[in-house]
Amino acid sequence: MHARFVTSTLTGSARVIKAGHPRVTSLAFTAPVRKFFHTSPWTLSVNAPEAVNTAPTHSSSNPPMAFPCVDHLEQRTQKFLQSFDGGPEPSYSNPVSGYSLYQHNEPFLLDHGGILPKFEIAYESWGELNEDKSNVILLHTGLSASSHAKSHPANTAPGWWEKFIGPGLAIDTNRFHVICTNVIGGCYGSTGPSSIDPKDNKPYATRFPIVTIFDMVRAQFEMLNSMGIKKLHASVGASMGGMQSLAAALLFKERVGKIVSISAAARSHPYSIALRFTQRQVLMADPNWNKGFYYDKVPPHSGMKLAREIATISYRSGPEWEQRFGRKRSQPTTTPSLCADFLIETYLDHQGERFCLQYDPNSLLYVSKAMDMFDLSAFNSAETNLRRARNSLRLQEGKGSSAPENAATPPEEQVAACSTTVSPEEQKKKELDTPKAQLSDLKEGMSSLKDIPALILGIQSDILFPVWQQKEVADCLREVGNKNVTYYELDSMYGHDAFLLEIVNVGSAVKGHLELKE
């Protein structure tokens, strides 16, 4: 049986709670407090499941504020609780349709020690595949995008790059066969935390292993192998997709004809890591997150909403918002509110509302962490290769289900990698303490890309991936001997999201690079 709320008055430091009621641990003051520890009457609410009238029991100088934004979150929670009586699941459990599925039925080892007994990749495609399968463009997505980049008969809804893909457009489907996937770790058809673990037929939740950008790309190339596609015309992506396009060329340099990397980086830097960390912390602080085990319960919709609002601040720019919103309030004739009041606040609130039930919270945690770990430097690549080899051997020896490397690595190379002692690794770490040494290490790591034509594009107003990070990619490629690097900076007010909105400027650069004959 649930306990009822208990209310009492506090005078000075004396506390009186009627005997006979359950002991409580969470107290919340709900009436205005004029002077701390003076004799003004306070009303004390003791948390309990039953709702009661929390209005002040004594007169007050001013009426209590209304908080429709807080009420809305509580109402949504109540709707979820009611829906579990045979009602619908959250919308992220089945958000898209019309995709195809690649099924990989062999164990897949991951870069940080985990294993997927099997996995699936959701993908969609446009344009005709030519006879020798040489006209394929692999389009990589950003953090929360699905494989639905362009509408098609099986799903006529506009895609996230709708006006960039099609006959005569930036990615010309009269010339190219375009494939776009949802990454592993995601929730739009590919295997991720919300997927069923075949070992116990329950969602992985946070038993899902840590994934990297390189894991995502290796999984994509397993799919390409099954399709008989030996070499891509180009690896194309923006934001996290731009990381993937670089990673694909690093891992499979003989299989990538061109690189297009937009608003991305060769390694994640502290500012973007901090932004994503903050989003994860806000999400995990939602009690409904429940350490990731919420799939049969109320999802952490409040945490997701706040996380998306933080992210949106990094996706757009101050100049755009000055022009679009200024200091305007949504209802200027009313008393200011502590809920969304300025137009910019209502915009952020709307973005959070749109997103909080469209994307799996655990996927946000895993995929954003993969972005944080991304690093093309030589030392990071060497450590990753060593981990893959060691874990692959352990798996073969039956000592556990620890992690990655594709089956193409010869056993003798695995053994050689495993024989490396720890001390040189530690010594190398010490040598990379300065920015100059780290940049030199990055160049060394990118040296294998010297023969692949690359388009690197940045947005001057981007605060999530500032243009100096794209310039770093272009400079490193040139300094390792790549003679075919094209670098553009766009003067757009749309910030990071310009790659979705600047159809003419971004589209023209992409089209020119893809169609240029070497």
List residues with catalytic annotation. 239, 462, 496
3-state SS assignment for residue 116: strand
- Specify which residues 29 forms β-bridges with: 44
| Best CA proximity match to 404, nearest among 425, 420, 424, 383 | 383
Give the containing element (helix H, strand E) for 213: helix 213-226
Asked if residues 165 and 149 have their Cβ atoms less than 8 Å apart, the reply is yes
Residue whose entry in the numeric block shows the structure tokens 């003798």: 412
- Evaluate the CA torsion angle 433, 243, 378, 211 in order and state its sign: positive
Alpha carbon distance 150, 147 (integer Å): 9
Asked if residues 158 and 330 have their Cβ atoms less than 8 Å apart, the reply is no
Alpha carbon distance 125, 129 (integer Å): 10
| Best CA proximity match to 42, nearest among 66, 18, 12 | 12
Asked if residues 237 and 244 have their Cβ atoms less than 8 Å apart, the reply is yes
Residue whose entry in the numeric block shows the structure tokens 């639905």: 148
∠213-506-180 over CA atoms, to 5°? Answer: 40
Q: What sections of 29-121 are H helices per DSSP? A: 68-83
Q: What sections of 316-356 are H helices per DSSP? A: 318-324, 343-355
What are the DSSP calls for 428-487, one per residue? HHHHT-SHHHHHHHHHHHHGGGTTS-EEEEEETT-SSS-HHHHHHHHHHHHHTT-S-EEE
Write 128-134 long-range contacts (CB < 8 A, 24+): 128/173, 128/177, 129/177, 130/177, 133/177, 133/227, 133/228, 133/229, 133/230, 134/231, 134/233
Asked if residues 460 and 390 have their Cβ atoms less than 8 Å apart, the reply is no
